Chain A
């Protein structure tokens, strides 16, 4: 309940107002609801299907970036949003699924022959589809039962697939546009820096094996 939100100081610093996770889902679905509402009412511009399709994909990428930002935020700025990561990750998956559904139903009109040709022949669609497939096991195992069943280490290893998904999503966006416009490059740069941060940190950690646990 929003009314019960309290400020908490966790093990990792900073007082963050604690909001119920359901609120993350409610706020997270606002863009989808607004887009569908505007779309049905013919207010998405001249090419509403394309606008809806692209916006849903972009939101999936934004939520993906948000999940990747949680660890650096904690490590660098001492802001702990870990308890919302699952909700944000699942929102990424839901938006990716809506994006794919829009492509299959509204864009291609269930023309599975055309869709198959796209998957086989068009690298950006091959990559997009692969990215969705990579995201699926992450979504399926995003619950406490799965963590218990798989054990924390196996679960964590599976969830490292998110790095592959992030690269796939950024590439998918870069490849769909003509020339090199700024927007997909900015998203690719954000993904690259979030992954690069982890890479550099792992190198540093490896070179200092005796580093005291925080």
Chain B
């Protein structure tokens, strides 16, 4: 075979047209949603999640199809090709799963994922997702505010940052087995505490109404819509509250290219490519038109004040 054929079915034909064309109908109620979900490709997903719609879903933009959201992923623990996570992520066992919360908190502990889901009010958050590589999606996440968990564990006054860690299980994650790792495993990320407390920052446990597929970071991942996608650490096993700015995987790998903040910013180029524009996945096929990238990915009104007085060229 001369050409690797990524998929056999046109991407646009998989999610029923009406599902992504008519979001209003989709939003009309859980019944409509269940109906739509039943038409989606068969996957070993958990039962549909119960959730509320959030007023913070501040976009009327067309959703990226479930097929594209689940088959075009950067999750280097499963390989560097965009299609590798969908092919290899099934080997990760996501149940049972606990998230260890430790560090500078009054109530550290281990949280079983099922308990976290049961004791949280799940919301649907439709967010834009802008990858540092210059493409974007619109994804209906299901999750809860990161702030809810933070309040439960009661951070001490000295806690200034939140550090996150992805699971490290080479037997279950083919990309972690390589003798020449693409990144230092496990993947680590971090936020300033005030960023983590921001109502837009969520821990997602699902998308398109159902539990997260493995390739999207099951069972629990971070979503910070005003930052580049790589800040959204997947398959989280540990959350630590710390005093000093934690190391993050990509800035450790190439500090001049990826900073700690990684806020979406069309005015600060990646050293090797422009960040002024982006391609929306699923839009236009071969003849996709670039659209301008917005400061803070269009969430400037909500989050810009977190960075007032900071030189965003220096703190990229």
Q: A residues within 8 Å of B by Cβ?
A: 30-31, 34-35, 38-52, 55, 106, 108-109, 111, 114, 117-118, 121-124, 175-183
Contact = CB atoms under 8 A, between A and B. Distances in A.
Contacts of A34: 2-3
B273 A122 contact: yes
Contacts of B83: 45
Contacts of B12: 42
Nearest to A27: B2
B286 A45 contact: no
A42 B285 contact: yes
A124 B80 CA distance: 20
Contacts of A108: 290
Given A46-B68, A106-B286, A121-B269, A178 B2 contact: no
B286 A48 contact: yes
A36 B201 CA distance: 41
A78 B6 CA distance: 38
- Place the interface of chain B in its size category: 35 or more
Contacts of B68: 46
A121 B227 CA distance: 24
Contacts of A48: 285-286, 288
A177 B133 CA distance: 9
List 10 tightest A-B contacts by C-beta distance, closest first: A45-B6, A46-B72, A42-B10, A46-B68, A181-B80, A39-B286, A179-B182, A46-B281, A48-B286, A31-B2
B54 interface: no
A49 B71 contact: no
A47 B182 contact: no
Contact of A47 (B2, B10, B279): B279
15 contacts: A38-B5, A42-B13, A43-B8, A44-B6, A47-B82, A49-B279, A49-B286, A50-B135, A121-B269, A178-B132, A178-B133, A178-B250, A179-B76, A179-B183, A180-B180
A44 B2 CA distance: 14
B200 to A, nearest CB: 25
Contacts of B269: 121
B10 A43 contact: yes
Contacts of B3: 31, 34-35, 38, 55
Contacts of A175: 272
A175 B271 CA distance: 11
Contacts of B10: 41-43
A97 to B, nearest CB: 18
